Structure 1
């Protein structure tokens, strides 16, 4: 077995690359797939007849380059956590709502996107009365933080 393995070192590298890729499927952190790339480079070096120490050095260098150069680009491309995709409660921020029960700094109810939400005013905001339009400025759990919508003076409409 040992003789066969020394004649087919590339196969051992390939097995290592597959094992690392399988671990990546479970973690999705783009580390193990980069190390699998290094193992594939080691497999290529073995298939070209490089000595085992050279294979290890090549695998380590390629793996390190992939982890420190390619991984940050892959993470920013595929694991975008900054962009607001406009789904869930985050999509409600900025929308207007109608006050159902007086909204104070501690409690209240609004109708937002067809649903009744618990709400409270932002720090320093005035109490919002039923029927009044408010603007959602933040969602904290199941509570909407609102600000009274600015009213347009009647003389500005004329």
Structure 2
């Protein structure tokens, strides 16, 4: 078996590439795709006639270089989110909230962006129904609001 793998290294590396790529599709953490790239480089080394020790060395060096240098850059680009592309609950922060029932630090409800949310006050005041507040943050299914200044109305 070992002799066959050494003689047909490109098949071994190609199979390893496919397995690592499938694992990456399921995990999406950018480690396995870096290892898969190393395996792909080893496939080309094997097809070029390189010995198995060189194929293994190419796999290790390329995979390590990708993990150390390319993965951090890729993660930075994936996590960067421009302010004008806020999605989900992030877009609600800063919006006005119409208070539907007395809202304190412990309980309350407010209408935000056409939806009714459980609301809490960020502060020590109480907002009465019909008044407006401003969403400061969202924590789970609870919107935290502050009293909107009279000049903002």
TM-score normalised by structure 1 residue count: 0.81
Which residue of the partner structure matches residue 150 of structure 1?
A: 149
**Structure 1: distance between partners of 2:109 and 2:36:** 54
Which residue of the partner structure matches residue 60 of structure 2?
A: 60
Q: Deviations 1:32-60 (Å, cap 9, x if unpaired)?
A: 11111111222222222222222211111
Residue 37 (structure 2) pairs with residue 37 (structure 1): yes
**Structure 1: distance between partners of 2:2 and 2:136:** 67
Relative to structure 1, the CA distance from residue 110 to residue 22 in structure 2 (aligned partners, 3 Å threshold; closer, same or farther) is closer
Which residue of the partner structure matches residue 156 of structure 1?
A: none
Relative to structure 1, the CA distance from residue 108 to residue 19 in structure 2 (aligned partners, 3 Å threshold; closer, same or farther) is closer
Which residue of the partner structure matches residue 21 of structure 2?
A: 21
Contact between 2:6 and 2:52, CA under 8 Å: does it hold in 1? Answer: no
Q: Deviations 1:43-91 (Å, cap 9, x if unpaired)?
A: 222222222222211111111101111112222233x276564322222
> What is the correspondence of 1:75-94 to structure 2 with a 5 Å cutoff?
75-78=75-78, 80=79, 85-94=85-94
Aligned residues: 151
CA RMSD of aligned residues (A): 2.4
TM-score normalised by structure 2 residue count: 0.83
Which residue of the partner structure matches residue 138 of structure 1?
A: 137
Relative to structure 1, the CA distance from residue 151 to residue 70 in structure 2 (aligned partners, 3 Å threshold; closer, same or farther) is same
**Structure 1: distance between partners of 2:128 and 2:135:** 15
Q: 5+ unaligned residues in a row in structure 2: which ranges?
A: none
Secondary structure class of the residue paired with 2:50 = coil
Q: Deviations 1:73-131 (Å, cap 9, x if unpaired)?
A: 222233x276564322222111012222222222222222223322221133x222222
**Structure 1: distance between partners of 2:93 and 2:9:** 57
